Amino acid sequence: MKNRKPIAWITGASRGIGRGIAIELAKHGYDIAGSARAFDAANYTSGLGEVQRRVEELGAVFLPLRGDVAQLADHERMLGEVLKKFGQLDLLVNNAGVAPEQRLDVLETTPTSFDHVLSINLRGTFFLTQRIAAQMIAQQRQHPESRAQIVFVTSVSAYMASPSRAEYCLSKAGLSMAAAIFAERLAEFGINVYEVRPGIIKTDMTALVESKYDRLIGEGLIPQGRWGLPEDVGKAVVALVRGAFAYSTGMVVEVSGGMNIRKL
């Protein structure tokens, strides 16, 4: 294979953590495909268009993809667009995710909300990974010297219970196990799989509960004493995929300012 830049596909790349990951990977030599449910090609001030502008300012190529991870029919089309543009895919970052539209006590969780959250966060992501894994295996067989990788972005909610958003916690716990399962299954093909667990990150998703978390952070919830930022997660993804952890498939990295520390 001729020398070329590695290609990363980031789902949910239009804002928040996905945007932060796209920018950090672009800084470190990746060309980017970024997908989201909406894309306005004329808008370069927000959404995928804004991310495209930032990535291209860094000297990287950006391919915007309109598609819904929950819609399995979109997977093949989006992958086809990636391969048509770049010819290969080296990194899948499973970042797309949604919170419940309304926080309800677990005793009031609705089937509609449950199905919506899990269809994107878990079911869609699982089957997208299955499809991309097949592509990566085919690439490895054709080019044994290449090195494909997959990163799952989960959450501290994979193990921290929030009774007011049970469906979100269940989706992230399931996604954490999916990362482990794919790591075990794909190891024989030289495809490493990692899990990144963000804590409380300042994004659109957390904006509605900002005052609550400001208070909790002030009371000592996070040992490092501040909100996490999307670039904190992006830097963790970069650290994992640049090769320093090549013998650590299945590794879990928490980006939470120390929320994982058990203390008395």
Cβ neighbours, 10 Å, residue 218:
10
Look up residue 71 and give its two tokens. Answer: 């819609």
* Domain regions of the chain by residue span: 7-255
- Residue 141: per-residue pLDDT: 93
Angstrom CA distances, 105 to 102, 168, 170, stand at 10, 12, 14
The DSSP code sequence of 118-133 is HIIIIIIHHHHHHHHH
CA 2 to the chain's CA centroid = 28
- Residue 2: per-residue pLDDT: 52
Look up residue 24 and give its two tokens. Answer: 């950090």
pTM of the model: 0.96
Token pair 């199905």 in the structure block, residue: 115
Q: Tell me 201's DSSP state.
A: B
- Residue 3: per-residue pLDDT: 59
- Residue 117: per-residue pLDDT: 98
Per-residue tens of pLDDT for the chain, all 264 residues:
455 899 999 999 999 999 999 999 999 999 999 999 999 988 889 999 999 999 999 999 999 999 999 999 999 999 999 999 999 999 999 999 999 999 999 999 999 999 999 999 999 999 999 999 999 999 999 998 889 999 999 999 999 999 999 999 999 999 999 999 999 999 999 999 999 999 999 998 888 889 999 999 999 999 999 999 999 999 999 999 999 999 999 999 999 999 999 988
Report how far residue 246's alpha carbon sits from residue 262's, in angstroms, rounded to the nearest whole number. 28
- Residue 208: per-residue pLDDT: 84
Phi, psi torsion values for 82, nearest 5 degrees: -65, -45
Is 91 in contact with 148 (CB distance < 8 Å)?
yes
Size of the chain, expressed as the number of residues it contains:
264
Sign of torsion, CA 246 251 254 259?
A: negative
Look up residue 78 and give its two tokens. Answer: 């989006």
Q: 36 - beta bridge partners?
A: 66
Q: What residues contact residue 6 under an 8 Å CB cut-off, 6+ apart?
A: 29, 30, 31, 90, 91
Q: Please tell me whether residue 148 adopts helix, strand or coil conformation.
A: coil
Look up residue 72 and give its two tokens. Answer: 């399995």
CATH of domain 7-255: 3.40.50.720
- Residue 72: per-residue pLDDT: 97
| 242-245, Cβ contacts within 8 angstroms, sequence gap of 24 or more | 242/28, 243/147, 245/192, 245/194
Q: 195 - beta bridge partners?
A: 152, 252
Q: What residues contact residue 26 under an 8 Å CB cut-off, 6+ apart?
A: 32, 54, 55, 58, 59, 60, 62
